[in-house]
């Protein structure tokens, strides 16, 4: 477990202590889970690990770890939704310069309902997996590692804007250069972007066979429209 994910335990404890306060809340009846998932990937995935979303952020708590024990102990989905909503509306106070800083009201209104309901429906669910992704095995590696939360790539159907548009920057690169960009992202920073945004651990976190699949997927599809339109 990565160091920042140790905060997961604190969130799980918070969830347990807030169970009574949020019991009976049922926002999922009016929630759009598809919108909630898309918003989570775009707004939360850089910081939080959530397996179903395919996000691998490790700045904030691992949400699966945070809620797995609570769910196993009987915390229901409605209560988890309430805890998530409260954390978004009233995050832990830190200095804005702290890497773990989370602004208040990251999503609001109906979007808050959608994100909270989505997380409540998937976080810590035993055996849950990300949905099948476009692009075959390499596209699945792309999705499972949350690449789409930061990057636009037409072949993957992603439109992340935290990192470079891969359809713009990858054409003309060799597979070796693409692999290096993944495993050593500080070596060559794309113009207009800062160092330290992309995790430095993909070389260890992605299995060698999966890395080859990912590189091939990126190399073969960079700059091309998504298959099937």
Q: CB–CB of 226/157 below 8 Å?
A: yes
CA–CA separation, 68 and 6 (whole Å) = 14
**pLDDT surpasses 70 at 76:** yes
Identify the pLDDT of residue 19: 35
Q: Give the residue-averaged pLDDT of 199-208.
A: 88
Q: Tell me, yes or no, whether 141 and 217 share the same domain.
A: yes
Q: Give the residue-averaged pLDDT of 90-110.
A: 87
Q: Tell me, yes or no, whether 27 and 112 share the same domain.
A: yes
> pLDDT higher for 150 or 74?
74
Question: Residue 33 forms beta bridges with which residues?
Answer: none
Q: Tell me, yes or no, whether 79 and 38 share the same domain.
A: yes
What is the CATH classification number for the domain harbouring 141?
Answer: 1.10.760.10
Expressed as residue numbers, the domain containing 211 is: 136-221
> pLDDT higher for 144 or 209?
209
**pLDDT surpasses 50 at 110:** yes
CA–CA separation, 59 and 216 (whole Å) = 28
The whole-model pTM stands at: 0.62
Burial 177-196 (b: 16+ CB within 10 A, else e): ebbbbbbebeeeeeeeeeee
For residue 129, being part of any structural domain is answered with: no
Q: Tell me, yes or no, whether 72 and 170 share the same domain.
A: no
**pLDDT surpasses 70 at 25:** no
Q: Tell me, yes or no, whether 113 and 210 share the same domain.
A: no
> pLDDT higher for 5 or 192?
192
Domain count, the chain: 2
What's the N-to-C CA distance of the chain in angstroms? Answer: 40
pLDDT one-digit tens code per residue, 129-142: 888 889 999 999 99
């Amino acid at each position: 477990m990565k160091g920042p994910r140790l905060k997961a335990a604190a969130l799980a404890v918070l969830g347990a202590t807030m169970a009574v306060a949020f019991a009976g809340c049922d926002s999922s009846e009016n929630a759009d889970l598809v919108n909630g998932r898309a918003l989570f990937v775009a707004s939360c995935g850089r910081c939080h690990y959530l397996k179903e979303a395919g996000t691998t952020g490790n700045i904030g708590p691992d949400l699966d770890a945070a809620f797995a024990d609570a769910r196993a102990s009987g915390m229901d989905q409605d209560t988890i939704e309430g805890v998530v909503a409260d954390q978004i509306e009233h995050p832990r106070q830190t200095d804005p310069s702290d890497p773990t800083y989370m602004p208040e009201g990251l999503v609001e209104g109906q979007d808050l309902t959608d994100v909270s309901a989505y997380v409540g429906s998937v976080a810590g669910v035993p055996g849950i997996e990300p949905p099948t992704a476009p692009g075959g095995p390499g596209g699945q590696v792309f999705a499972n590692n949350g690449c789409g939360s930061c990057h636009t790539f037409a072949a993957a159907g992603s439109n992340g804007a935290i990192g470079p548009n891969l359809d713009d920057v990858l054409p003309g690169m060799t597979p070796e250069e693409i692999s290096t960009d993944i495993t050593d992202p500080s070596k060559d920073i794309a113009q207009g972007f800062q160092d330290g945004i992309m995790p430095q651990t993909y070389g260890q976190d992605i299995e060698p066979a999966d890395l080859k699949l990912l590189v091939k997927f990126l190399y073969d599809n960079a700059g091309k429209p998504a298959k099937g339109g």
